[in-house]
Amino acid sequence: MRHLIASAVAAALTGCASYSGHGLVPGQASVEEVDAVMGPAAERRAGADGETVRYYPRQPNGRQTFAARFGADGKLRAIEQRLTEANVASLQPGAWRAENVRDLFGPPYQVHTFARLEREVWTYKMYAEGYMLKDLYVQMSPDGILREVMVMDDPQYASKYGPRRF
């Protein structure tokens, strides 16, 4: 009976770890260990100083994207939740390129092309103020320049009576 309870507790803790990578130790965990815990990365990109960044989006319902940064030795340096209000505030329309946005947030949840506006719009699902359901829209022009950033109430949860607060 004790083994059954211990197995259930271990399975529950592993389920929590697989979502955000909690419990993975920077400087020790390998790429293989991170993938075993968090699942396969949706995208890999080169980072600064020989780092590799692997993205683990939990969208649409998780509204988070975790970026695991690995050194040249293949060891985990850090895991960061990238869809934050501070990161959104750092975006600079007219100065940033699509690659900069992709390096920061990883792959978008959805991509839409608006030919007449000459814009490609990337959508990310996120939280604001810790619990408000929001959509982040970043618009790119055909030359790959970030042109506009909008954070709006998620239309799936907004109503004519205003945003729902959970």
CATH number of the structural domain spanning residue 109: 3.30.1450
pLDDT at 32 over 90: yes
- Assess contact for 107 and 116: CB atoms under 8 A: no
pTM of this prediction? Answer: 0.83
Distance separating alpha carbons of residues 134 and 17, to the nearest angstrom: 25
Residue where one domain finishes, among candidates 63, 81, 99: 81
Distance separating alpha carbons of residues 136 and 134, to the nearest angstrom: 7
Predicted pLDDT of residue 16: 47
Q: Is 130 within the bounds of a domain?
A: yes
- Assess contact for 121 and 146: CB atoms under 8 A: no
Domain that holds residue 42: 23-81
Q: Is 72 within the bounds of a domain?
A: yes
Q: Is 117 within the bounds of a domain?
A: yes
- Assess contact for 136 and 101: CB atoms under 8 A: no
Predicted pLDDT of residue 25: 95
Split at pLDDT 50, 70, 90, the class of 9 is very low
Q: Which of 31-40, 96-105, 125-134 has the lowest mean pLDDT?
A: 125-134
Clarify whether residues 97 and 139 are in a common domain. Answer: yes
Residue where one domain finishes, among candidates 39, 63, 81: 81
Number of domains making up the chain? 2
pLDDT at 69 over 70: yes
Clarify whether residues 99 and 43 are in a common domain. Answer: no
Clarify whether residues 36 and 53 are in a common domain. Answer: yes
Q: Is 12 within the bounds of a domain?
A: no
Q: Is 27 within the bounds of a domain?
A: yes
Residue where one domain finishes, among candidates 81, 114, 149: 81
Clarify whether residues 74 and 89 are in a common domain. Answer: no
Distance separating alpha carbons of residues 128 and 28, to the nearest angstrom: 32
